[in-house]
Structure 1
Amino acid sequence: MIGLMAREEHRTATSTRIRTAQTRTTEAPTPTRPATRAWTTRLVVLGIVLTALNLRPAITSLGALLEEVRDGLGMSGSVAGLLTSVPPLCFALFGVMAPRLARRFGPGAVVCAGMAAITAGLFLRPYLGSTAGFLAASALALMGIALSNVLMPVIVKRWFPDRVGSMTGLYSMALALGTASAAAVTVPMTEALGGSWQTGLAVWAGLAALAVLPWIPFVRNRDADRERGRDGEHRPDGGAAPAASAQEKHARVEAPTLRITRSRTAWALAVYFGLQATGAYITMGWMAQIFRDAGVHAGTAGLLLAVTMVMGVPLAFVIPRLATRLPHQGPIVLALGVCGLVGYAGLYLAPVAGSWAWALLLGVSNCSFPLALTMVGMRARTSAGVAQLSGFAQSTGYLISIPGPLLVGVLYQHSGGWGLPIALMAGLMIPQMAVGVLAGRDRTVEDEAAR
């Protein structure tokens, strides 16, 4: 009897354990977690798009109204050239801080703070009433842009490691759309709002405020965001990449920081980034003025600048996808460079007669920016390597680009025309093409730094 009861108790306990295990399996939150991860992934995509839309309006909206701002604040041509040099200066100074801040707070939290800084800077700068105040508020907005510039490739590599080309294309396309929209809409919107350049510039703060919202959950969950970067890449199918073994994690933590300055590819990419940024910021800051001085109406000049920027919308999606399928990105570099040379030659010889053609060609040439971002993602193996390469290439590159817009302003003021500035822009395309071919070689900075 006792043995029978013991056997019955054993069967009961065993069945209870089986039912409990089945209940745990059935009630495990597997449906909830993928749904949560999928929702989070969609939020990241939305955040990437809205962030990219806000990375250039601070610059191109100013380019469209530069003459009005100069008159309103009493700027000379040299000071206006300094103003157009502020973006690369801020990108160089603040971009280098981005990887360290991302390690401490998480990249999502840093981008959220960057969008808030853009909002505050764009809203304040038109109303501070002095050149110094305008520059200070612009620097605040540009600080937010610099942090987000560096961290966008990191976020793409981390969340979409198997779709770097397509996601970089989406990000670059949204960036080009925001750039072109600000160039095209700022002048007519200013006129519709009463003709005040202050209102025409401040209205872009609203778009930046909207971009803060998708990143707020990542501020609250920044610890998990940091852990994702340490333990593995996020997979867009809702799962996480396989966790590394304890030995691999220890090795990863104890490994010394990548000596990025030992990599020739990193230096080539930094110089390429700097030279394409020089051309881009000269274009954004001065091209509308070049057309206006040639006799083009202010609204049409803004539209021409918008055409240059809007060319990046389709091409910024196509070029990164094409680049990831090629072992060497040199042919794309050369094709974009030739378009730039022809565009500058036309801008010098027939700025009015062929204005739309030159705007199109220079727009194609400016797609060196999404190509450079794609190469940043391709020239490093891990998100940590991409973060370090992105910070180095962008900070060094923007440092290289600082003198360009300022020099254009000085040459314009002292020569009384656009011949010398355009010759400078065309001349810079030659070294840009040379270092771009070197940066496009199929190798990684980890291998070069290890040697």
Structure 2
Amino acid sequence: MRTLYLLLIIFLTSLNLRPALTSIGPVLSFIQDELQMSNVAASFLTTLPVFCMGVFSLVAIKMSKTLGVERSLFIAMLILLMTTALRFFTHSSVMLIITALFAGVGIGIAGPLIAGFVKEYFPTKLNVMSVYSVSMIIGAAAASSFAMPLYHMGRESWRFSLSFWAIFALLAALLLLPLLRDGNKNKAQTSPATRHPHIIVLVFYFACMCSIFYMMTAWLATIALALDFTPTQAGLLLSLFTAVQVPMGIVVTELVTRFQRRRLWLLLCAFSECIGLLLLIFQFSPWVATVLIGIGAGGLFPLALLIPVQDAITSQQATNTSAIMQCFGFMIGSLGPLVLGFLFDATDHVIYPLLFVLAVNVMLMLLITRIKQPKQLA
């Protein structure tokens, strides 16, 4: 029963790590029309939170040492609860961007802590990481899929659509309450932290991977509109992108934990993204292209989360490596949506932004060739 309870905590906390970002894309055109936001200004709704996710990943290390993983996660869920709920009362672009910024703070703190939580409570069951990664993908898929239905349910209110997801942050916070009394006992050990021997490769891999993910999350609907899709079809395309990632997160994590050879699976996922991007560039079957990009993203992200846990000996090492990788990876990767917004404004065409995404994908594949197997780390 306790195992089920702990898995439910991992599921709900992970579920909250993406809706604040992915709920925006399908209703972005309505937000821009009402708040008079340019494409560059709208880019900050993704760029700023992703940047903050990077900066505050390092805060997670300090918090886990002083407060414990459980209390730190509880604080992160409270931050997400308040910032997401505040969007219902937003009436300016500045206020909306501020909520995005603080959402990034909460997500940045929570991300590495969940990896530490898994290593602490399930030290020998690395496939539990699939609950973390798949829950995150489900949250992303649900937020983008239901953005338009919630918009209509709220009488064409994008505020209702964005703030609805505060409910799940509240549920996660309530679920963590029974563990808070154990927070002092479960503080991370202050044993010397061992730096991952290939942390620089992991940082740039994570940067390229998350840059592609957030560029597609933020701008796929806009790209679809430029290809003469209706707003509803564009929303469905974005939903397809996130929905495809759910089974991939489960399958790839299981394949790597069972058969190792993670570099092979990473390359296959990155190649799938590459083919999908080429199809989009040549405007050949955007639906098939989106499925291929989603397959790639669905495998790359869970494996990025798995690597620090797979290579760590202790919960603190898992938290530290995850925090460093996510810190600099998110900060560098956050520039992707901003560059795409600039290219859209400067060229008024979808080809040049997509060529930039393709260039990042090629760089990603080159970095993957440098990622070592666990037995090669020494």
Short-chain TM bin: over 0.9
Q: CA-atom RMSD, angstroms?
A: 1.6
2:118 corresponds in structure 1 to 156
- Give 2:314's aligned residue: 382
Equivalent of 2:297 in 347, 366, 376: 366
Give the structure, 1 or 2, with the largest relative contact order (CA under 8 Å, sep 6 or more).
Answer: 2
Q: CA deviation at 1:216?
A: 1.0
Match of 2:37 in 1: 75
1:334 aligned residue: 267
Contact 1:47–1:211, Cα closer than 8 Å, also in 2: yes
Return closer, same or farther for 1:444/1:47 CA change in 2, 3 Å cut-off.
Answer: farther
Whether 1:115 aligns to 2:77 is yes
Check if 1:195 corresponds to 2:156.
yes
How far did residue 443 of structure 1 move? 4.4
Structure 2 residue 236 is the aligned partner of structure 1 residue 298 = no
- Using the TM superposition, give the Cα deviation of residue 84 of structure 1 relative to its aligned residue in structure 2, in angstroms: 2.1
Which digits, 9 at most, give the CA deviation of each residue in 1:154-175, with x for residues without a partner?
A: 11111111111x2111221111
Deviation at 1:349, TM superposition (A): 1.2
Partner of 2:172: 211
Asked if the contact 2:199–2:325 (Cα under 8 Å) also holds between the matched residues in 1, the reply is yes
Q: Report the alpha carbon displacement of residue 299 of structure 1 after superposing the two structures with TM.
A: 1.5
Distance 1:57 1:83 in 2: 13
- Rounded Cα–Cα distance in structure 1 between residues aligned with 2:131 and 2:334: 28
Q: What are structure 1's unaligned runs of at least 5 residues?
A: 1-37, 231-252
Q: Which of 338, 343, 347 is the equivalent residue of 2:276?
A: 343
1:429 to 2:361 alignment: yes
Cα deviation 1:60-93 (Å, max 9, x = unaligned) = 1111111111112211111112222112211111
Structure 1 CA distance, aligned partners of 2:261 and 2:372? 5
Please tell me whether the aligned partners of residues 88 and 398 of structure 1 are also in contact (alpha carbons under 8 angstroms): yes
| CA–CA distance in structure 2, aligned partners of residues 417 and 49 of structure 1 | 39
Alignment check: 8 A CA contact 1:344 1:358 kept: yes
1:325: how far off? 2.7
Distance 1:444 1:101, change over 3 A: farther
Q: CA deviation at 1:264?
A: 4.5
Deviation at 1:328, TM superposition (A): 3.2
3-state SS of 1:305 partner: helix
SS at match of 1:225: coil
Identity value in percent = 27
Pairs within 5 Å for 1:313-332: 313-332=246-265
Which of 34, 56, 80 is the matching residue for 1:94? 56
Partner of 1:420: 352
Number of corresponding residues: 377
CA contact (8 A) 1:172 1:312 kept: no
Which residue among 103, 109, 134 is the counterpart of 1:147?
Answer: 109
Output the CA distance in 2 between the equivalents of 1:444 and 1:104: 33
Cα distance between partner residues in 1 of 2:375 and 2:121: 23
Q: Cα 1:172–1:256, aligned 2, differ >3 Å: closer, same or farther?
A: closer
Partners of 1:311 and 1:364 within 8 A in 2: yes
Q: Partners in 1 of 2:154 and 2:59 — Cα distance?
A: 38
Whether 1:58 and 2:20 are equivalent positions in the alignment is yes
Structure 2 CA distance for partners of 1:180 and 1:391, relative to 1, 3 Å: same
- Aligned-pair CA distance for 1:444: 7.5
SS at match of 1:366: helix
Could you tell me which runs of 5 or more consecutive residues in structure 2 were left unpaired when the two chains were aligned.
none
1:305-347 deviation per Cα after TM superposition (whole angstroms, max 9, x unaligned): 1111111211111111211233431111110111111111111
Whether the 8 Å contact between 1:119 and 1:205 is mirrored in structure 2 is: yes
Distance in 2 of aligned mates of 1:370 and 1:256: 27
Matched, 1:356 2:318: no
| One of 231, 244, 247 as aligned partner of 1:311 | 244
1:218–1:225 CA contact under 8 A, matched in 2: no
Matched, 1:438 2:370: yes
Distance 2:376 2:78 in 1: 34
- Rg larger in 1 or in 2? 1
**How far off is 1:103 after superposition?**
1.0
Q: TM-score, normalised by structure 2?
A: 0.95
The 3 A distance-change label for structure 1 pair 413 and 126 is: farther
Deviation at 1:126, TM superposition (A): 4.2
- The one-letter amino acid paired with 1:303 is L
Q: In the alignment, does 2:187 pair up with 1:223?
A: no
| Structure-2 residue corresponding to 1:184 | 145
Q: Distance in 2 between matches of 1:443 and 1:393?
A: 20
Aligned to 1:278: 211
Q: CA-to-partner distance for each residue in 1:225-249, whole Å, 9 max, x for gaps?
A: 22xx44xxxxxxxxxxxxxxxxxxx
Pairing partner for 2:222 from 289, 314, 332: 289
8 Å contact kept, 1:168–1:317: no
2:49–2:102 Cα contact (<8 Å) kept: no
